[in-house]
Amino acid sequence: MDIVEGNDPLSLIAREEEVKNQKLLLLKEQREKEQKEKELKERETLTKDNIYKLEEEGKKLEISTKVHIQHPNISTALVDHSSSTTINQAKKKKWINSFCIVNFDLEIGQVLEYSYPQVNFKEEETTNLCFLSFPDSNSHLQGDIIYSFRLRETTTNNGFGSFQYGYVFFKQVKDASISRGYLQKSVVLLSDESFVGLFKKVMEIVGPLYFDHGNTLLEVAYQNIMGWPELKLGQTYELPILGYILTFHVPHTRGTPHIIDPVVKQHIGSASQSPLWSEMKLVSNLKSIDIYGCFKNFTTKLWMLWELVLLGHPILVISPNPPMCSDSVLALVSLISPLLYCGDYRPYFTIHDTDFHKYTQYSNNPNSATGDGYETNNIPPSILGVTNPFFLKALGNWPNILTIGTCQSRLGGFKKIKSSLPNIMSKDILSRHVLDNKEKIISEYKCLTSPDKTILKKITVSENTDENAINETLRTYFLQLTQKFLIPLERYFSSLLPLAKTISIFQRPPRLKPFDREEFIRRITESDERYIIDSKSKEIELYKQFLDSVNFKQWLDDKRAEAIRHLNILYRKAILDADIHSLLKGKPISIAYDLCKRVEDQLILEENLFQTSNEIKDKFKSHIEIVRKYINSSK
């Protein structure tokens, strides 16, 4: 199709951006004028507003403390997660980090060909990115696929660091101009955020257009995304990207993969008449990664999978292709929502990953120890998604192996032409896991929970079955199952909290009582209440195992941090509301010295860590002056 100069898709997009920027500039000037007019009024009410917020925070903790005994799940609804964001998290305002292009070079292999903005990776990070961006198998399949992975950033001295999330659009088509005979190239979006549904939809839009318009298209897409509103937890946004608008709700917490797709709308306007629309070819109508779609042949085993993930048991997921592989791992992690899975999960993992040798050490030498001090047969909590059958040999000692899909499964959007298994393993292992074309779970774990017959009946497939409805049924059920499981833990933790009335400006904020494992087990043993299992002995055993898991440790750390934050807020409010003159009457000078030091410490926090108004800081300074005068008069 011929495109008139100046009317090509990129020119139209650029023109729209220019008009948009002009409108934004005018709007900004108008808002600045309005802002100046409001400043005087805001100053008059600022002190009252700040005090009101502190009072509200105090009420939240006091209500949480008192009501937990009857309604232990109420605490999560009362917490304002947006205000508990750490300083490091607050700096992560970008939705994405960069776009990358990974190409296949006949002599070198996978190579990072282009990135925007330019990435500064270490050599092993670049190697991992390149291999994670391609299917880990020798196939002659044509078409496009979309999947996700986690990329470790080796930013610390011991080689371990945080993760970036990668979202891949991989294309493989015949190309006679290439000596290999195929074009193999991936477009990759890297982000600190695990918004799987959102960014896979972005790649569904950006990926095909890149192969039509090249690197400039990625720069335009990046600028579109950089124009999105500042990322804040718990907010709903309308996000424009290359003529589409994605309506997306940001989750209230970080960490758990957010796999719900955004709502996609076509932009109504002059751009809808451009060649961009007529040439748009979406890979597929992606839906949310769902439990039923991944485990429809394992519905009776879902309770065992829930337990394995809950307790942090290592799981190896083997699938014939990256999309099925990554979706299955993410579905497993989401099974225990709202509890955060704290093991190392990799939606897609390859034999070329720099962490591969670590996992082979755990499985191949069961009677020795690594230099890190871990017993090699004590595999750390982890869920690995793989496609290469070699993992069945390398990680054959893993206690839980889940085979999803068969050799005949279609590779995402690929059209299958020819397939051959790598000749790297014995036929016994291949026939056991792959060649029999059966999905299976190989595990010796004895499940403590039992399948819910009512739920199994609800999800029985018939001709008129709506698979989306089945998925929602399963999601709701396992969400409630996890919440019920957490009830006694939430209830016991609430008993460790001091009451708000115990806070005094003459003492440091009260400390939380330690979590006593034996006392907790004694309480649930003596209680007649059943939470998720009819058998009391099995339920107690499940809680005992959970208390040893990494998921419990993180849950407890998060609960303690949340409670300490509330106590500090109440302590701060107590100082601000205090009538220092009255409280100091008759007090010895030693107490006045201690109080002065505490208020001075709080003022240092206000000035260096918190975005505190000058009125609030002046209040603290006023208190300090009153205490100092009292000290001087008492000498």
Q: Which residue has the higher pLDDT, 318 or 8?
A: 318
Q: Which amino acid is at 102?
A: V
Residue 47: burial class (beta carbons within 10 Å; 0-12, 13-18, 19+):
middle
* Domain ranges, residue 315: 290-487+530-547
What's the rounded mean pLDDT across residues 121-139?
Answer: 86
What CA–CA distance (Å, rounded) separates 110 from 32? 50
Residue 99, both tokens: 């776009």
Summarize pLDDT for 475-534 with one digit per residue, the tens.
899 999 999 999 999 999 999 998 877 888 888 888 889 999 999 999 999 998 999 999
Encode 235-271: b = buried (16+ Cβ within 10 Å), e = exposed.
eebebbbbbbbbebebbebbebbbbbbbebeeeeeeb
Q: pTM (2 decimals)?
A: 0.75
Evaluate if residue 5 carries a pLDDT over 60: no
Return the H-helix or E-strand segment holding 151. Answer: strand 139-152
The tokens of 232 are what?
Answer: 């804040």
Beta strands in 339-432 (DSSP E): 344-346, 382-386, 400-403, 415-419
How much of the chain, in percent, has pLDDT values that exceed 70?
71
Instruction: Tell whether the model's pLDDT for residue 133 goes beyond 90.
Output: yes
**CA atoms of 49 and 274, how far apart (whole Å):** 50
SS3 100: strand
Indicate the SS3 state at residue 47: helix
| Model confidence band, residue 58 (pLDDT cutoffs 50, 70, 90) | very low
Task: Categorize the per-residue pLDDT at 262 as very low, low, confident or very high, splitting at 50, 70 and 90.
Answer: confident
CA distance 189 to 117: 11
Cβ neighbours around 422 below 10 Å, total: 12
CATH number of the domain bearing residue 465 = 3.40.50.11500
Confidence of residue 109 (pLDDT cuts 50, 70, 90): confident
Residue-level pLDDT at 13: 56
What pLDDT, on the 0 to 100 scale, is given for residue 436? 54
- Virtual CA dihedral for 472, 474, 479, 482, nearest 10 degrees? 180
Residue 60 resides in a domain: no
Q: Check the CA dihedral 113-115-118-121 and report its sign.
A: negative
374 falls within a domain: yes
Picking from 554, 557, 516, 523, the residue whose alpha carbon sits closest to that of residue 539 is: 523
Could you give the CA distance from residue 172 to residue 135 in angstroms, rounded to a whole number?
A: 10
Torsion of CA 330, 335, 341, 343, to 10 degrees: -60
Report yes or no on 250 lying in a domain. Answer: no
pLDDT at 633: 83
**C-alpha separations of 438 from 31, 32, 441 in Å:** 63, 65, 10
Q: What's the rounded Cα separation, in Å, for the pair 205 and 209?
A: 7
Reference 288, options 265, 261, 324; nearest CA is 261
pLDDT of amino acid 159: 43
Distances (CA, A) of 154 to 296, 356, 400: 37, 14, 28
Is the preceding peptide bond at 338 cis, omega within 30 degrees of 0? yes
Tokens of 501: 């009335």
**Which has the higher per-residue pLDDT, 486 or 235?**
486
CA-based nearest residue to 402, from 293, 246, 478, 294: 294
**pLDDT for residue 408 is more than 80:** no
What is the per-residue pLDDT for 537?
A: 94
Identify which of 391, 307, 378, 316 has the alpha carbon closest to the alpha carbon of residue 346.
316
Cβ within 8 Å of residue 47, ≥6 positions away: 613, 615, 616, 619
pLDDT of residue 447: 95
Q: Assess if residue 80 is contained within a domain.
A: no
> Is residue 278 included in any domain, yes or no?
no
Percent of all residues in the chain with a pLDDT value above 90, rounded to a whole number = 39
- Residue spans of beta strands (DSSP E) within 324-378: 344-346
Q: Domains in the chain: how many in total?
A: 1
pLDDT value at position 631? 85
State the average pLDDT for the chain: 78
Range among 48-62, 73-87, 242-256, 349-363 rated most confident? 349-363
Other Cβ atoms less than 10 A from the Cβ of 535: the count is: 13
pLDDT at 252 over 60: yes
Residue 561 lies in a domain: no
| pLDDT digit string, tens, across residues 265-299 | 765 444 444 444 333 433 333 445 778 889 988 99
pLDDT in tens, 414-472: 433 232 333 333 344 444 544 455 788 999 999 999 999 999 988 886 656 788 888 88
Q: Is residue 23 situated within a structural domain? A: no
Residue 172 DSSP SS3: strand
H/E element holding 112?
strand 109-116
DSSP state letters, 531-581: SS-S-HHHHHHHHHHHHTSHHHHHHHHHHHHHHHHHHHHHHHHHHHH--HH
Q: Residue 442 is inside which H or E element, if any?
A: strand 440-443
Residue with the larger pLDDT of the pair 302 and 423: 302
More confident residue, 28 or 576: 576
The confidence score (pLDDT) of residue 255 equals: 66
Q: What does the block give as tokens for 191?
A: 């982000």
366's tokens = 């069961």
Higher pLDDT, 264 or 512: 512
> Which token pair is 235?
């907010």
Instruction: Give pLDDT, residue 182.
Output: 76
- What SS3 state is found at 322? helix
Asked whether residue 628 is domain-assigned, the answer is: no
Question: pLDDT of 582-631, one tens digit each?
Answer: 888 888 888 888 888 988 888 888 888 777 888 888 888 988 898 888 88
- Give how far the C-alpha of residue 103 lies from the chain's centroid of Cα atoms, to the nearest Å: 28
Answer yes or no: is pLDDT of 12 > 90. Answer: no
